[in-house]
Structure 1
Amino acid sequence: MKQLAIIICLFFISFTYAQNNTLKFTENSVSPKANLNQVSWIAGHWKGEAFGGITEEIWSPPLGDSMMFSFKLVSEGKVVFYELGGIRQVDETLIFQLKHFGSDFKGWEEKNETIDAKLAKIEDNRVYFDQFTFEKVNDNEINIYVVIEENGETEEVKFNYKKANDL
């Protein structure tokens, strides 16, 4: 279980990878102008499967210059870890931020630290943050692509979510 948590944590510290559905924000990059209405399609209650368990994400609609989310991975009937975060409107662009918590709600990152992913590109059905991509397949399905690193190897992992109707 701890090994899985370490693998998940490595999602967010990868620096090089094979590019497919994700983009890397480079030092010389500038985030494009964007607003939360362009990504409001992410809002909803989403469920999927990954890492031998069930994944769940709940995204709020835009309010107060942000969209907040909660995530959890459940394996063998137990929570492995949580994430809390959101997409914020900052000046004329967007930033994706998150924090990890163990099943006991103890934070992984330092108290005042977050994982920050700058906006790299935005399209009608995709929003690209640094090493994270959100893709709208249709009104009831989204994909989230994340770059992870394990044992020096990097790969892009696809999380497929279907809209849950039980909220």
Structure 2
Amino acid sequence: MKITPDENTGSLSGRISFVNIKDGNDGPWGSIGVITDDSYMNKDKVKVERSQAITVEMKAHTLLALAEILNKGDSIHLKYVLRVDKWKDKTSGLDRKALKSHCTQIVSHTSKAAKDCLKQAGIMKSPQQAQQPPQQAQQPPQQQSNNAGWGQPQQPQQPQSSYAHEKAN
């Protein structure tokens, strides 16, 4: 039996719901909210929409450097570790603790504007397009003659390499 070492890492992808920077007792700190899509198909093959809101703590210098480009609606993929934060409650004087996720790496970030451009160009599917049934394949355009006039669109010619010529012989 192989025993694997304990590991305290995770990965999270979703949309940014907020960016928060505050001054604390030990200096500035921050967090971002990430909304993840946790939808699934039930036994009747009906999609059940479900999402989770997760707050991820970040180092202040990282968040301050990225505050200008991280916006609500942007897509983000990050890695995190779980930590137990402990503190003394100011009103009751009791010791408190909470399990929190702390970002260790931002793997990727795509702005909402960039995603919208990719969807508009047809490079990225929107959720509505992904749910539509596939359409019939379109017929390829007809070949045009090579003697098209100046300014007329022409089909690009495929160059033949000498290697392809040698393989044919």
Q: Is TM-score (shorter-chain normalized) higher than 0.5?
A: no
When the two structures are superposed, what TM-score results if normalisation uses the length of structure 1? 0.25
When Rg is computed on C-alpha atoms for both structures, the one with the higher figure is 2
Structure holding more strand per residue? 1
